[in-house]
């Protein structure tokens, strides 16, 4: 392993979240992004070839060292680590609507799910899975929600394109039908003032 690979490994080991290639490149002023990618490839192969208990996983736009799934049960049995609490069906449905329609307002979420969404939205926001990404131009300028990098991390996705595509679903995706919502508030939004 060359020095940059060692450096990347050390950084990924010490960080509590996935690190991006750009972030890793700051470890060494000489290193280019391509160097870092090569180093990451080397690290991944090293873990795989030598059958390490951990592997390098691409996640939420970055990289993280995670244990291999095969060891999860034993680690949990020994109570070295615990799983995060599960998400409720309501939380998952709300996240599903937002992941596909973001930026999206509360009214549209409630329309699709047929239930009020205030409590779930607040909980998800507190858990850092959602954030307010702007305000709709529609009447009352309602808040628009979007998913966060933590959402990708929780689902183990590299980015939103890892979500199933419309054609992979058994029920075909319906085209947007914005006429019930007045102006197409999926497009017309302005960023929230910071």
Partner 1 sequence: MTAPNAVPPTIALGAEPGFVVQLEAFSGPLDLLLHLLREEKIEIADIPIARICDQFLKAIHELGLNQAADYLEMASRLVRLKVQLLLPRNLDDDEWEDPRAELVRRLLEYQQIREIAQWMGSAVERRTERLARGYLPPPPDLPPLPLTLDLLGLLQAVDRVIAAIPIPVLHRVVARPLDVEGATRRIEALLEAHGEIGWLDALGPEPTIADLLSILLALLELARRGVLQLRQPAPFAPMVIARESAHPAV
Interacting residue ranges for partner 1, rule: CB under 8 A: 13, 16, 55, 57, 64-69, 71-72, 75, 80-81, 83-84, 86-90, 92-93, 95-97, 99-100, 112-116, 149, 153-157, 163-164, 169-174, 177
Nearer Cβ to partner 1 (2/13): 13
Which H or E run contains 38? helix 33-49
Under a CB-based contact definition with an 8 Å cutoff, are residues 91 and 123 in contact? yes
Q: How far is the CB of 68 from partner 1 (least distance, A)?
A: 7
DSSP 79-116: TSS-PPPPPPHHHHHHHHHHHHH-SEEHHHHHHHHSS-
Q: How far is the CB of 100 from partner 1 (least distance, A)?
A: 7
Nearer Cβ to partner 1 (87/138): 87
Under a CB-based contact definition with an 8 Å cutoff, are residues 84 and 153 in contact? no
61 — alpha (psi -120 to 50), left (phi > 0) or beta?
left
Q: How far is the CB of 94 from partner 1 (least distance, A)?
A: 9
Nearer Cβ to partner 1 (38/181): 181
Half-sphere exposure in the Cβ direction for 105 (13 Å, CA): 23
Q: How far is the CB of 112 from partner 1 (least distance, A)?
A: 6
Beta bridge pairs of residue 135: 143, 190
Nearer Cβ to partner 1 (139/171): 171
């Amino acid at each position: 392993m060359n020095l940059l690979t060692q450096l990347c490994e050390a950084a990924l080991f010490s960080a509590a979240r996935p690190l991006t290639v750009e972030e890793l490149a700051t470890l060494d002023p000489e290193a280019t992004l391509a160097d870092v990618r090569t180093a990451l490839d080397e690290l991944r192969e090293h873990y795989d070839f030598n059958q390490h208990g951990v592997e390098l996983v691409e996640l939420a736009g970055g990289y993280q060292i995670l244990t291999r799934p095969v060891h999860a049960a034993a680690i949990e049995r020994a109570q070295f680590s615990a799983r995060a609490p599960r998400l409720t069906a309501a939380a998952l449905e709300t996240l599903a609507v937002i992941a596909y329609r973001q930026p999206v307002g509360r009214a549209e979420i409630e329309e699709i799910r047929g239930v009020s969404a205030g409590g779930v939205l607040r909980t998800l926001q507190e858990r850092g899975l959602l954030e307010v990404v702007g305000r709709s131009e529609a009447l009352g300028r309602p808040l628009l929600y979007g998913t966060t990098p933590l959402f990708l991390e929780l689902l183990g996705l590299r980015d939103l394109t890892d979500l199933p595509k419309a054609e992979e679903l058994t029920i075909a995706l319906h085209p947007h039908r914005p006429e019930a919502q007045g102006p197409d508030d999926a497009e017309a939004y302005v960023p929230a003032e910071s």
